Amino acid sequence: MTAWDRRNLLQLEGLSREDIVELLDAAERHVDAVRGKTPPRATLAGRIVANLFFEDSTRTRGSFAVAAHRLGAAVIDLSSAGSSVSKGETIVDTALTVEAMGVNAIVVRARPAGAAHLVAEAVAVPVINAGDGRHEHPTQGLLDLLTMRQHLGDMTGRIVAIVGDIANSRVARSNVHALTTIGAHVRLIGPPALVSGFFESVAAASAPGTVQVSHELDPVLPLVDVVMVLRVQFERDSDISADYHELFGLTAARAARLKPEAIVMHPGPMNRGLEIDSEVADDPTRSVIRTQVTNGVAVRMAVLELLLGGG
């Protein structure tokens, strides 16, 4: 599935620039409500959203629940431990089961790439991919774009460095698709073993200068508008050398070489002192990591409304 069917949100690959701008504009309209400045509207009152999280999550799981509550919807929340998945029930059977209970949408996070697509093929209610293995994390890509747009305006021609464990990152995949669709340029930076396969082929197939792979961070820093630092995913067996922090860690000294208006992002959770130092992560002038989290609720409100017809 490539083009967006507007029934489910499974990936950002295939969305047009207009689709992405529509979603960002819709999310922007919820930001004041998320910040408590305006009352949210209960546009999804009476609806039920099923959160099926078969991989650990704090931000995505919590913010989908907060987003649904803010719109007046109820949430049921299932994970592997404590559900019949622990007895061997499949993710698709679990989804069919909650659909039979009458839920109105299913949010799914699972370790296998393609899991959300399988669920979407099996059920009739809207399905939202909350992260499937190394494939995509579309609402993360949208909240990242919203955060960049708020700080930098139109991203056309802006340069975004994505740094670290890229090969394992669904966040990087969703961002590469979305950023190139809206006209930004991407620099993928990390050790050779962590910028491999899919990303090398994307860079090779892209228009000159659009997506480039580099294995050195320092020369790129003064040129970029955004540094998106990625977590080293030890749970996916990422193998890093002892000098990883020395070569790729975003330290205060490195951050000092960024343009004055450049921003620092991280999807979380962070390995502080490895891919990013606390001085940078907590820097109130450059770091927008908390804003990303706030925007995550707004994006998920927008996506739920769009797919459930409550907008």
Binding site for ligand CP (CB under 6 A): 57-61, 131, 137, 140, 267-269
The answer to whether the beta carbons of residues 38 and 298 sit under 8 Å apart is: no
* Residue number with CB closer to ligand CP (58 or 201): 58
* Residue number with CB closer to ligand CP (61 or 173): 61
The answer to whether the beta carbons of residues 188 and 166 sit under 8 Å apart is: yes
Q: Is 159 helix (H, G, I), strand (E, B) or coil?
A: strand
- Residue 41 beta carbon to ligand CP: minimum distance, rounded to whole angstroms: 26
* Residue number with CB closer to ligand CP (190 or 267): 267
* Residue number with CB closer to ligand CP (170 or 254): 170
Task: Give the span between the Cα atoms of 202 and 222, in whole angstroms.
Answer: 24
* Residue number with CB closer to ligand CP (197 or 269): 269
Burial zone of 280 (CB within 10 Å; 0-12 exposed, 13-18 middle, 19+ buried): buried
* Residue number with CB closer to ligand CP (61 or 134): 61
- Residue 296 beta carbon to ligand CP: minimum distance, rounded to whole angstroms: 8
- Residue 267 beta carbon to ligand CP: minimum distance, rounded to whole angstroms: 4
Contacts of 293 (CB under 8 A, 6+ apart): 59, 63, 268
For the chain, strand residue ranges (E) read 48-53, 74-79, 105-110, 127-132, 159-163, 185-189, 211-214, 226-229, 263-265
**Orientation of helix 59-70 relative to helix 289-308, angle to 10°:** 50
* Residue number with CB closer to ligand CP (192 or 269): 269
- Residue 281 beta carbon to ligand CP: minimum distance, rounded to whole angstroms: 14
- Residue 109 beta carbon to ligand CP: minimum distance, rounded to whole angstroms: 7
Task: Give the span between the Cα atoms of 40 and 29, in whole angstroms.
Answer: 10
- Residue 63 beta carbon to ligand CP: minimum distance, rounded to whole angstroms: 8
Q: What number of other Cβ atoms are within 10 A of residue 196's Cβ?
A: 15
Task: Give the span between the Cα atoms of 226 and 296, in whole angstroms.
Answer: 18
